[in-house]
Amino acid sequence: MELGFIFDLDGVITDTAEYHYQAWKQLADEENIPFTRQDNEALRGVPRRRSLELLLKGRVFPEDKLVEMETRKNNYYQALLENITPGDLLPGVLPFLTEAKVTGIRLGLGSASKNAMTVIRRLGIEPLFDAIGDGYCVVNHKPAPDLFIWVAGRLGLWPTRCFVFEDAEAGVDAAIAGGFHAIGIGPDERVGRAHYILPEGLKTAHIHDFRIT
């Protein structure tokens, strides 16, 4: 029976959360808004506009200023992405993806980021994916299941035939809402609702652990 693995990008395949933090922090400093690494945790898996709203903590700005701030942050973020190389794949990711691919498992990406294509190209893993869903593909973001359902459709699989690998609470909730098998990457406090948890990430995962009968 055919099987699919759908991966979130940031925090599952590579750790761009640090670059997002640095870019938001630069914007926050310029705007004299306090912003800590702890604050950044709440932005994990959250799309750009909602992230900005969380950073602003209730401060009100006109729409054109919000757009300017999003663009400024994205410019800082894209400059940092220039540093990414295949060496930035998280431990265990490449063997896991490669083994799954040769076994015939269909591979998908489901990322809220509009920069996802740039990141996976810089990581050198674009050819491994049969379907790539990014921040441009659907209107409703995680925790809505739309993006994962979009990717599963491109893989030609029902959600019940796919595992979703996620490090964000909103992503785990999206996978569950869509009827997928949710694999949480990281601490229980964040991904505790997942069906199965990999606290250490993909480096401790074996493809044969993921079967659907």
The site for Mg ion (CB under 5 A) is made up of: 8, 10-11, 45, 167-168
**Helix, strand or coil for residue 107?**
strand
Binding partner of residue 167 among Mg ion, ligand BG6, none, CB cut-off 5 to 8 Å per kind: Mg ion
Would you tell me which residues interact with ligand BG6 (CB under 6 A)? 9-10, 20, 43-48, 51, 74, 111-115, 135
Q: Is 10 a catalytic residue?
A: yes
β partners of residue 133 = 110
Nearer Cβ to ligand BG6, position 51 or 205? 51
The minimum distance between CB 166 and Mg ion, in angstroms, equals: 6
DSSP tag of 18 = H
Binding partner of residue 111 among ligand BG6, Mg ion, none, CB cut-off 5 to 8 Å per kind: ligand BG6
The minimum distance between CB 105 and Mg ion, in angstroms, equals: 21
Under 8 Å CB-to-CB from 34, ≥6 apart: which residues? Answer: 28
Q: Token digits for 11? A: 């925090």
Q: Is 29 a catalytic residue?
A: no
The minimum distance between CB 211 and ligand BG6, in angstroms, equals: 28
Binding partner of residue 112 among ligand BG6, Mg ion, none, CB cut-off 5 to 8 Å per kind: ligand BG6
Q: Which of 48, 90, 93, 40 is nearest to 69 (CA)?
A: 48
Q: Token digits for 206? A: 């074996």
Q: Token digits for 22? A: 């640095």
- Other CB atoms within a 10 A radius of the CB of residue 138 amount to 19
Catalytic residues: 8, 10
